[in-house]
A and B are shown apart, each in its own frame.
Chain A
């Protein structure tokens, strides 16, 4: 894991770093999930993204802004202290983006909580121009499932963020077969695609016998694929092969959006 937590300035001295000048003209990127609908697979995709960055040997920082997701399923459950918990429901809002990106890391992966919309919109309205002037760009990741509420959530976020961010939309097949009619064939979703040109990625349906114990024990796809864990039920050859296959196809998909993921 390349996520670097050793230079956590705000934690070490309790102050907000203001040495922002060196950041000017530096290429930095904040990648954030579009919160809203819960349980669509935001954290799972961020996990995959973290593994992809690791495979590319690209340093990044993980921020877990989903304060309501305290236990299993949270980034911290998988990455321990490497995933920094941040409470965004304060006056400073998402200023932690700036603090964390100011210490040399060029990529911040921020997993937003299900109720983070208004905080995020307010922060973008007041801070975006100044942060953008520092050379920071944003990629918002929306996860859609067959559930129309997931599509509405993504569209609602996009209506607030507009073209201040780049968009990656992940079609997450949480059922088999998965029907993405509400994402692919509704008027509003098509207007969004025409106006803001998201890169669309597909994520395979995962077998419950692999997905559920992985969540339960906080084990990533890569750890299963490489048998880097001690959970017997996930060491079956068929599951290891499945994990390798899922990961390979997922990484292929992510490659299609790498121009929106790398600084």
Chain B
């Protein structure tokens, strides 16, 4: 790198963590891998570290890290499967480069998908369509 750039970078103050959860990211990732829900994570952070956070805060943190860690130095991280495979890992935290677990999810085609199936929606409504009044029996077009 240009020495002038390096000099500038050295002068810049280190950026503070943007999230109070940053120091606990490994713990959160591991708990998510083990299937802990956000409520349980919030409880552990409170009881073990005195950190009071809401479940939605943890949710936001997990989701934001999912997005930011999919590429490292411009390249895909260790899980270099297809986009479809990558999506199956969202929510499990199993996407970090330093994860020592083998990429068995990608090597074994019979591995069940981790993502939830599309939910069944009992009610569908298209708000762009106007309400259609049903004709009563005996009513006909003119």
A residues apposed to B, CB below 8 Å: 15-18, 20-21, 91-93, 95, 98, 123, 126-127, 129-130, 133-134, 148, 151-152, 155-156, 158-159, 162-163, 181-182, 185-192, 195-196
Please tell me if the beta carbons of B54 and A21 are within 8 angstroms of each other in the complex: no
Main secondary structure of the interface of A (DSSP, over half): helix
Please tell me if the beta carbons of A126 and B59 are within 8 angstroms of each other in the complex: yes
Per-position contact with A for B38-77: 1 when CB-CB < 8 Å, else 0?
Answer: 1100110010000011111101100000000000000000
Given pairs A17-B52, A93-B56, 11 additional interface contacts (CB within 8 A): A20-B43, A95-B54, A127-B56, A134-B39, A148-B131, A158-B125, A162-B122, A186-B133, A188-B125, A191-B124, A191-B125
Number of B positions contacting A (CB below 8 A):
27
> Which B residues are CB-close (under 8 A) to A15?
52
Main secondary structure of the interface of B (DSSP, over half): loop
Query: Nearest A residue to B135 by beta-carbon distance?
Result: A185
State in angstroms the CA–CA spacing of A134 and B132 once bound together: 40
> Which A residues are CB-close (under 8 A) to B134?
185-187, 190
> Which B residues are CB-close (under 8 A) to A21?
43
Contact of B124 among A17, A159, A182 (CB under 8 A): A159
> Which A residues are CB-close (under 8 A) to B60?
91
Please tell me if the beta carbons of B127 and A159 are within 8 angstroms of each other in the complex: yes
A14 nearest CB across to chain B (Å): 10
